[in-house]
Amino acid sequence: MPVELNYQDTGGDGVPLVVIHGLFGSADNWRSHVKAWQETLRVVTVDLRNHGRSPHAEGMGYDTMAEDVIQLLDRLAIPRVHLLGHSMGGKVVITLARLAPARVASLIVGDIAPLAYGHDHDTVFAGLRRLEDGRPANRHEADALLGEHVKERAVRLFLATNLERVEQGGLKLRLGLDEIQDDYETIMGPPAGEGTFPGPTLVLRGAHSHYVTDEMLPALREVLPEAEVVTLDAGHWLHAEQPEAFRESVEVFLARHAA
């Protein structure tokens, strides 16, 4: 059953750019990009279910998450969009483009292919559970708790964006962690839907990431036959590691496919 997603909308004219985050992310992660894009575009950033300020609900299937986004577009009376999704969000936008291609003016996929992936978030789940149990009073304590399981500081800083202060004091996670972990197998699976999305498509991948390798490109083009693949000097978090190159690639693509 669809849920009413939290969103941020810059307003403006024209076909909006709808931005969808990855696993453990939120609309807040895209603030710097939105600040730049809103000069020329209407930008709508979305919190997927169990993320950010959106409701917690069972079911993380890609068809379910895409239907949540379609319902939001209906609520905002937006008939057609440019879609940008990173990682898990990339699979959501591929699914939406398959389910409702008439609503997608163009597709931008950040460092993900329409394939199943291996399980590599065990330490992240362990760190987030430690945060839940530890009830940190401040961000220094939170980082120490996360650090018992997650060694990469950049990953800890990213995960800490999911902390919010509560009235009784201290910090708590705003993630629907139970719902995410219960359906983790589905999240690691391929996008939902069948067939291809024949519209304009940009795939941005990181040169130092294993998520979109050359070996994956034939399978990617079976689903996204018009995909233009651009490689940035970055890892999986290419929009954070190479923000200017990422923004420029998106802007050049959108300028060519303005609708």
Strands (E), 4-137: 7-9, 17-20, 43-46, 81-86, 104-110
Residues 6+ positions from 40 with CB-CB distance below 8 Å: none
Q: How far is CA 177 from the centre of its chain?
A: 16
Q: Name the active-site residue from 106, 236, 239, 249.
A: 236
**SS3 state of residue 221:** helix
**What is the DSSP-derived secondary structure letter of residue 257?**
T
**Catalytic one of 119, 178, 208, 210:** 178
Nearest residue to 241 via CA among 254, 231, 229, 251: 231
Parallel, antiparallel, or unpaired for β 171-173 and 81-86?
unpaired
* Alpha-carbon distances, residue 155 vs 25, 28, 67, 162 (angstroms): 11, 16, 29, 12
Is 257 an active-site residue? Answer: no
Which one is catalytic: 87, 106, 209, 249?
87
Q: What residues pair up with 43 in beta bridges, in sequence order?
A: 17
Question: What's the N-to-C CA distance of the chain in angstroms?
Answer: 31
> Are the beta carbons of 206 and 180 closer than 8 angstroms?
no
Cβ contact 85:111 at 8 Å = no
Nearest-angstrom CA–CA distance, 29 and 16: 18
Q: Are 204 and 87 in contact (CB under 8 A)?
A: no
Active-site residue flag, 87: yes
Point out the residues that are catalytic: 87, 178, 236
